[in-house]
Structure 1
Amino acid sequence: MDLKKLAGQAGQLLTRAVQYTEEKLGNAEKTEFDGHYESLIQQYESTKLWTEKLMTGAQAVLIPNPGNRVEDMLFEKIEKRRPNRLSNLEYLGLDMVQAGNEFGPGTAYGSALLKVGGAEQRLGLSEREFVSNSLEGFIQPLHKFLDTEIKTIARERRVLDTKRF
């Protein structure tokens, strides 16, 4: 490495250390950011906060059982896919169909259970498709945004804060 370059970097580091120390001890004023940068920081923080809240809220609505959410997250990390579990409506529909078959399709009660059970199963399948589509079309893009763009902005912000001193 060039000696002049090394001396320049050392001088710059020393200047930053002196400024940082003076700011912390109260002898010097902090270098202020311009208004545009401050508004960008506020926009970043607000966007991050609300994106996290929206993603968490949507996940709680789509997958109400916290245990299932944790299980899904683990499956995604390990196997890159979600487990294919039946919804509560599908379980109810299966039970109704089984009970309807037990009572017999020729009885009024058995026939009603078979019809309602089939409807419950179709509703459950529709619910499962809705949850899957919502996770793919809404939650995953938000998650990707938080993992890429927000982390990049945070990293750039730390670099700017470091350079300021």
Structure 2
Amino acid sequence: MRLAGRRIAILLAEGVEDLEFYVPLMRLQEEGAEVVAAGLDMRPVRGKNGLEITPTATVADLRADDLFALVIPGGWAPDKLRRYPAVTDLVRAMDEAGKVIGIICHGGSVAISAGIVRGRPATGSTGIKDDLINAGATWVDAAALRDGHLVWGRVVADIPAFCRELVAALVERA
């Protein structure tokens, strides 16, 4: 229960990669964190692989000051999430506050739109490799990596490495 009492949000929209949402959620709950499923609204969404997920909060209602960390899973959801100022403003505020942000797979596209990748190492799906490079990140082909308060994961197969790095970063800051 190393993260007991810590509030962590996981971003959510239609087409989220189910495993990249649920595995970190359960791993963080296992450590005692209060995990918030943050959607664009309160309507249930269907994950990329068909699981239905009901948000417990809206992104617009979240404040960086009230969160310990943020997780951005991949799938098709990041392409939707990145279009909303409430999302990119929250990501930017979390980054400016030096709070842990976990980013996996296509979640990096939200980080790109929030303007937080320039000059930093990053990984993710090869589908956004060029986007990360064009946004000024240094591409690293690794299962998971940590750059200060940013924790990156590559793809679904790398979820165990991503979760290990994410939990390690959170416990260090707890």
With the shorter chain as reference, the TM-score category is: under 0.3
Greater percentage in strand? 2
Greater percentage in helix? 1
TM-score by length of 1: 0.18
TM-score by length of 2: 0.18
